[in-house]
Structure 1
Amino acid sequence: MTESAAIRAYWDAAAEAFDEEPDHGLREEATRTAWAECLADWLPGGTEGAEGAREVLDVGCGTGSLSRLLAEAGHRVTGVDLAPRMVEQARAKFAAAGLPGRFLVGDAAAPPTGGAEFDAVLSRHLVWTLPDPLAALRAWVDRLRPGGTLVLVEGRWAQAAEPGPYVAGAERLPWNGGVGAADLADAVRPLVAGLRVEPLGDRPVLWGGPVTDERYALIARAR
């Protein structure tokens, strides 16, 4: 299996240019608005919502772009990422926007949040990088309050999810190259009360252009 130090080094090196990807940096208004609308659908509430603000754990938060959208919607966000440089950028992004938020350096598969429980756990394009994704799914569900929401934005990539080779040994990762919606649903279903899958590959505005691979969101409700 790949070593966490190698994975950390890879994403640290990727941090500087990470936001250049349209769906990472969300610098274009149309892309940012499209993601904000998705999050509002998957995680209703926030400042203006009848359900009120939610405590959201963003695992593998990267540079905090989705965390920022959640905070702007009125949710209270805790982000976790293995790469210190990603966390530095997320903190800087929140500071520049004057938004409250907490960001921790740690293993997103086993978030260092102690016994804290959350109303929602969000993960985007993370499970393919994990040596033990099934253990991570259990850990995330365990951090949800009863009736909480798990949102997994994932896909099965037509090509490598990131430019250039991933860390040595990546070919042995269980879901290297991504995971299809049916397989992920089969893995999550025993852990939750119910779930739905929402295709996203036909929405080019989310990605900065058309995509040809499988992309989707899995939204599940905790027991």
Structure 2
Amino acid sequence: MGDSTSITAYWDAAAAEFDEEPDHGLRAEPVRAAWRVALRGWLPAGPVDVLDLGCGTGSLSLLLAADGHRVTGVDLAPRMVERARAKLAAAGLPGGFLVGDAMAPPTGAQRFDVLLSRHLAWTLPDPQAALREWVSRLRPGGRLVLVEGRWREAGQRGVPYVPGAEALPWHGGIGAAELAAAVRPLVSGLRVEPLGDEPRLWGGPVADERYALVAER
């Protein structure tokens, strides 16, 4: 599919309006509160070290930092990272943000208690390799939290994604059963929590499949 330059350009262009989506910007208190409750249910008692991959503009990182967690965010798009840094700085909260590829997060030898990824796996050219890499970034007993689903091709206000996106292995998203089958050999246990019937998370009702997969290393 498209090279990293075109992918970066796409998400950089999306950054300015990214937070206008209710579940991206979390600007409405009911949506923000729903994500706060969800994250608390998926993460262990803190504070813990969290790697937020595909962090976008940092809305989930902000909630995690507000709960006292030590957050490192990674995103391929520099403009997304700029907004994430500004968001946490404006709130007076600590957080480290890096520009980099989620397939190989630029965090060196650091290991994390939690790796969080939301709506990212469908964009990856080799999601199976990414899953193996992500689990390796966890400390023993660490937790992998994947918020995923199966939906139409992502786009911002009708702008198409990069050329060749239809060739991605998980183009259009991935169902819970398929993702669980991919993750299960890498972890000691997992559970799937359906999220499609939680309209407060999305700013309104949704008709497609959405869920959280929570796994233990």
TM-score interval, normalised by the smaller of the two chains = over 0.9
8 A Cα contact 2:84 2:97, kept in partner = yes
Output the CA distance in 2 between the equivalents of 1:149 and 1:70.
15
State, as a whole percentage, how many aligned pairs show the same letter. Answer: 74
1:89 maps onto 2:113 in alignment: no
Aligned counterparts, 1:35-184, within 5 A? 35-46=35-46, 53-157=47-151, 159-163=152-156, 164-184=159-179
What is the DSSP-based 3-state SS (H/G/I as helix, E as strand, rest coil) of the residue aligned with 2:214? strand
What is the DSSP-based 3-state SS (H/G/I as helix, E as strand, rest coil) of the residue aligned with 1:114? coil
Cα shift readout 1:38-87 (whole Å, capped 9, x = no counterpart): 000000323xxxxxx10000000000000000000110000000000000
Q: How big is the shift at 1:165?
A: 1.2
What is the DSSP-based 3-state SS (H/G/I as helix, E as strand, rest coil) of the residue aligned with 1:177? coil
- 1:221 is aligned to 216
- 1:209 is aligned to 204
Output the CA distance in 2 between the equivalents of 1:160 and 1:3.
18
Cα shift readout 1:98-145 (whole Å, capped 9, x = no counterpart): 000000000011100001000000000000000011111111100000
Displaced runs of 4 or more, over 2 A:
159-164
TM-score by length of 1: 0.95
**Structure 1, unpaired ranges of 5+:** 47-52
- 1:49 is aligned to none
Output the CA distance in 2 between the equivalents of 1:44 and 1:147.
10
Output the CA distance in 2 between the equivalents of 1:165 and 1:13.
12
Q: How big is the shift at 1:94?
A: 0.6
**Structure 2, unpaired ranges of 5+:** none
Output the CA distance in 2 between the equivalents of 1:90 and 1:119.
21
